Amino acid sequence: MTSSTSVGVTDSVLELFPPGTTLGIFGELMIGGCVASDLASAFGTPALIIDESALRHRARRYADGLAARWPNSHVLWASKSLPHTAVYRVLSEEGLGIDVAGGGELFMALAAGADPKTLVLHGNAKTDDELTMAVQSGVGTIVVDGFDDIDRLERIVEGEQAVLVRVIPGVLPHTHAAIATGQDGSKFGLSAADARTAIKRLRGSDKLRLDGLHVHIGSQVVDREPFVRAIEAVAAMGEFAVYNLGGGLGARYTYDDRPPTIEEYLDMVTQAARRLLPSDARLLIEPGRSLIAEAGVTLYRVTTVKRGPRPLVAVDGGMSDNLEVSLYGQRFEATVVDRVGGGELCTLVGRHCESGDQLIDGVALREPQVGDIVAVPVTGAYCLTMANNYNGARRPPIVFVRDGVPRMVLRRESYEDLLRRDLD
């Protein structure tokens, strides 16, 4: 992952926040028209702030951009990046389908009113209960990840169920090993030889309708070439009616990151598809991180400052609301909300009893003090998804902001919530 030791200026910091983020008349950060410190006062910290307009705008860029380049297509949101009913609802309203990975995400998507026909169920270890739920709910497509999926579905399906076969393309992109999924030996999907066996078996099924193939190479991928190689791999499997080309496009987390834009990514994918795939095929893509990461900002309150060669600035959250740093070494940036940009290099740490609970090493903060509100941008994806109760932490709320109006769509956990499932 990218690191940066440069001191950012105000404009550079703002580039990492949702489009439309500005400074108010007193120089304070405003997200979605809301003053950041007012949000912290109203909803507490830590809190995940989602700029709804920014999210909707990115969804339209994906949906309209793909349709303009390949009319027979559909964008599916990879909902594991932030599974919550309000997000499902917003992206369904924007016309996106939903990629769900497991029964919980399926349950939430249906509760949000998503059309089950637009849902695609993934998973390398689907249970009988999850597949039964999917079939009974009318999920449009189930991705076959192995022969056991075929066995289970043959038992469960009574009518007809559309499926795709997930193919391992043998592509290892430049990303963290924990979020690479397309390399040989991956736990996801079938090797080319096994995929051909599965295809032959499915074509003989009277319950499972094989529509096509699925491929996915990983997450936070910022190079173009691996995506093209993955399309070449599925093209070598033959002609099908549907090709789900997955997602994986990286987000811009730091000053130094320069991932392809949505439009550059769509150009690359559709140009490769025109060269390699049937012209009448239906194309599906599954953006997750690149769709929602940049719409999110986490607000923290500084609780302790320890001076030294590099100041240690501790906040009231950490690895309970952002595991990306500990798990993947992901780099973030940050700023004090009323002294935006620049400052001395500090180490921003969390409140948990782990030395590894470090949010950002070497981040520029201007005169950090106890009580300050610190904003960390690009936290919409995979942060609250993996939130946990380490040290009894209460998982934070989600607050949507739009046109200066905030609304909480997920409340903060209470201490009583920590006991709610206890039986003794």
Q: Which residues carry out catalysis? A: 353
Cα distances (Å, whole numbers) of residue 406 to 21, 51, 75, 394: 14, 9, 28, 21
Q: 280, 286 in Cβ contact below 8 A?
A: no
If you write DSSP's letter for every residue of 217-234 in order, what string do you get? -BSSB--SHHHHHHHHHH
CA pair distance 58, 64, nearest whole angstrom: 10
Q: 173, 182 in Cβ contact below 8 A?
A: yes
CA pair distance 224, 258, nearest whole angstrom: 12
CA pair distance 116, 98, nearest whole angstrom: 9
Using alpha carbons, select from 139, 107, 145, 140 the residue that is nearest to residue 125: 145
- Reading the block at residue 196, the tokens are 């051909």
CA pair distance 247, 303, nearest whole angstrom: 38
- Reading the block at residue 334, the tokens are 């940050």
Q: 124, 187 in Cβ contact below 8 A?
A: yes
Strand partners, 208: 161
CA pair distance 72, 134, nearest whole angstrom: 25
Cβ atoms within 10 Å of 374's Cβ, excluding its own: 28
State the pairing for strand pair 119-122/97-101.
parallel
CA pair distance 54, 171, nearest whole angstrom: 32
- Reading the block at residue 220, the tokens are 């936070």
- Reading the block at residue 216, the tokens are 């996915």
State the pairing for strand pair 73-78/282-285.
parallel
Side chain identity at 102, as an amino acid letter? Answer: G
Strand partners, 375: 299, 335
Give, as one character, the DSSP assignment of residue 390: G
Q: Cα-flanking dihedrals φ and ψ of residue 280, to 5°?
A: -100, 5
